[in-house]
Chain A
Amino acid sequence: MMRARVNMPDLAFAAFLVAIGALALALAGELTVGSAAAMGPGYVPRGLALIIIVYGLVLGSRAAFAGWQVFPDIAWRPLLLLSVAIALFAILLPTVGLALTSFTVVVCAGFAAYDVRLHENAFLGAALAAFAAVLFVSVLGLPIAIWPW
């Protein structure tokens, strides 16, 4: 029963380290490395990426025998709805302006809470949209359009 001894959170973290190290190594692949006395732009990034990969492998092999521990439960609803709300902000803001974007983001984010109330949430969205438009555009003068037209 090999599987029974794996520490899942630690293993996941180790996998993350190896992945990010490998990604950096691939991206920094074309950069000049140079020598210790005259380092090129690739010297430190590659060095760090290699250290991270090795470190990740060490942590990973340790996690494989550290004793069984499950990965903790993920609360998908808040995670997912918060992501969608933020993505909506990034997509909508350039096209429909701050007021409608704010309303949409607040309403969508509101559903991340398990105790969301429909009317209250819509009212909150409208209030915050007005507040954001006044505070950020009128008072603080951010260069954002309020309306789509």
Chain B
Amino acid sequence: MDLFANLATGFAVALTPTNLGFCFLGALIGTLVGVLPGIAPITTIAILLPFTFSLPPASSLIMLAGIFYGAQYGGSTTAILVNVPGESSSIVTCLDGHQMAKQGRAGPALAIAAIASFVAGTIATVVIATASVPMSWLALKFNATEYFSLMVLGLTGAVVLAHGAPEKAVAMVLVGLLLGLVGIDVNTGAPRMTMDIADLGDGIGFVPIAIGLFGIAELAVTLGKPQDRSLLSFKLRNLWPSWAEIRQCIPAILRGTTIGSVLGVLPGGGAALSSFAAYGVEKKSARNPERFGRGAIEGVAAPEAANNAGAQTSFIPLLTLGIPGNAIMALMVGAMMIQGIQPGPQVMTTQPQLFWGVVASMWLGNLMLIVLNLPLIGLWVSLLRVPYRLMFPAIVLFCCIGTYSTGNTVFDVWVMLLFGMLGAFFYKVGAEPAPFMLGFVLGPLMEENFRRAMYLSRGDPIVFVERPISAVLLALALALLVILILPTIRAKREEVFRE
């Protein structure tokens, strides 16, 4: 295998001063938004998306990827010191991490979180590098029928793994698919559901929807709740965990990395789910589970390893199949499209520098993060002391400017406002916006492949089960749905999400 040749290509790209700079910038911004509760990485990526237009494709993706995994590092700092998750993926880190901090062991907790993230990031980079090549070979065998079935499986996965009520997630996917079809039909040139608005010709903008649903809605919800940010006073001495603690954590880190790597690849998976699952496994497999929730260091190490591994391996379906597995990957599709790159299996062969450069940058980014994070913890802590009332008006302004600059039209700002209000409504009725976003991105792709497959089969839907790969994919989707409906598993699933 020419894995090493590929990685060498990648490092040659990632190590150029420009790309190193953007990797650093991405990791830094990621850590920043990770530390600050109330700003999600998805909002940040959406806001920065328009500004990557003028960058070379590799630099743009390297920076945006850095924001995503950087946020996994940053989120743990807030979880440990403030007992408020900086990101949804660090909710479980609060449980034991904050307990450790209360016992005066904030230093070791922060250090083990960073070490676990780094180890997981390194392993996940190797996983991406080895798994991508065979995946893209498989994908090249796909035609419209298989692609349609694959997307059905992806969306089913997103529904099953979504938090909250699955029947609402199904509805959100459907609405997303529908709104994704707004705009001029590529086959006939007919404007569809555009209400004769010229700005809707290319469809509803992807950036305004993402910023509205995630950014604006999040602000409205956060501001409606009382703010609680009691910082633990803590000193940076005895930062390092003891050798005994590190030895204790090694198996937990490896288990967390494995869980994260697998769950990250699954549609609908990613960082948050991985950390929940890893914590659950540690607690169940521990010799004395009652230590968990009272400052068990494995309870920090395993989920932190899992969320970082999951964040990285969720790039696999995007880079090899061209199918985003979660809402952040849906934004990455947008980032690639802006650069004129159609995500899919051909990216690896036609743009090896881009593909391997991004993969190599992930390891470099992780290295930077561990060097960056521990010495700078004092700085992050002082940022946490900035009150929210000073931060959120800036976020509102940047959301507006970011949205406006995607097409230099205020129409997009109105769309953002509309979806911001819709997002607040979805929050109130307990419907997750992430499945909507996936449906929205996949809508046009799915329709296109569905129409083509049906055209080739002369209108006979049996083709979806006649072709073996397609049949397997649909069977998997069906199996997922059956699992979801079974009452015992449903009860267990709710239990997992409650934890």
A residues apposed to B, CB below 8 Å: 9-10, 12-13, 16-17, 20-21, 24, 27-28, 31-32, 35-45, 48-49, 51-52, 55-56, 59, 71-72, 74-75, 77-79, 82-83, 85-87, 89-91, 93-94, 98, 102, 105-107, 109-110, 112-117, 120-121, 124-125, 128, 132, 136, 140-144
Contact = CB atoms under 8 A, between A and B. Distances in A.
Contacts of B74: none
Interface string B483-498: 0000000000000000
B393 A13 contact: no
B393 A128 contact: yes
Given A24-B193, A90-B417, A132-B401, A35 B219 contact: no
Contact of B219 (A71, A78, A116, A132): A78
Given A13-B171, A41-B190, A41-B192, A112 B223 contact: yes
Nearest to B427: A72
A44 B195 contact: no
Contacts of B393: 85, 105-107, 109-110, 121, 124-125, 128
B283 interface: no
Most buried by A among B54, B170, B417: B417
A20 B410 contact: no
Interface stretch (B99-107, B132-140, B174-182, B247-255): B174-182
Contact of A36 (B188, B398, B425, B459): B459
A8 to B, nearest CB: 9
Contact of A90 (B190, B194, B414, B451): B414
Q: Give the most central of A72, A75, A82: most B CB within 10 Å.
A: A82
B429 A12 contact: yes
Given A10-B429, A113-B392, A128-B394, A86 B175 contact: no
A31 B54 CA distance: 38
- Majority-rule SS of A interface residues: helix
B167 A59 contact: yes
Q: Point out which of A32, A40, A72, A79 has the most chain B C-beta atoms below 10 A from its C-beta.
A: A79
A55 B389 contact: no
Instruction: Rank and list the top 6 A-B pairs by shortest CB-CB distance, nearest first.
Output: A75-B224, A37-B459, A78-B223, A36-B459, A41-B185, A113-B389
B451 A39 contact: yes
B178 A48 contact: yes
B287 interface: no
A87 B414 CA distance: 7
13 contacts: A39-B455, A43-B451, A44-B451, A45-B178, A55-B170, A74-B224, A83-B417, A86-B396, A86-B399, A86-B417, A112-B223, A115-B227, A121-B393
B162 to A, nearest CB: 14
B430 A41 contact: no
Nearest to A143: B408
Nearest to A58: B167
A120 B387 CA distance: 12
A107 B394 CA distance: 10
Contacts of B408: 143-144
Contacts of B410: 89-91, 93-94
Contact of B390 (A52, A124, A143): A124
A102 B398 CA distance: 9
Nearest to B416: A86
B201 interface: no
Contact of B417 (A27, A56, A87): A87
A93 B429 contact: no
B237 interface: no
A98 to B, nearest CB: 8
B178 A20 contact: yes
A79 B218 CA distance: 11
A48 B174 CA distance: 7
Contacts of A106: 393-394, 396-397
Contacts of A40: 188
B428 A48 contact: no
A59 B171 contact: yes
Residue among B192, B389, B424 with the most chain A CB within 10 A? Answer: B389
Interface string B450-493: 11001101111100000000000000000000000000000000
Nearest to A83: B417
A82 B430 contact: no
A32 B192 CA distance: 10
A41 B454 contact: no
A31 B190 contact: yes
A82 B216 contact: yes
A55 B171 contact: yes
A122 to B, nearest CB: 11
B193 A27 contact: yes
B421 interface: yes
A16 B423 CA distance: 13
B400 interface: yes
B216 A86 contact: yes
B193 A9 contact: no
Contacts of B225: 75
A94 to B, nearest CB: 6
Interface string B262-277: 0000000000000000
B228 to A, nearest CB: 13
Given A27-B195, A113-B223, A55 B174 contact: yes
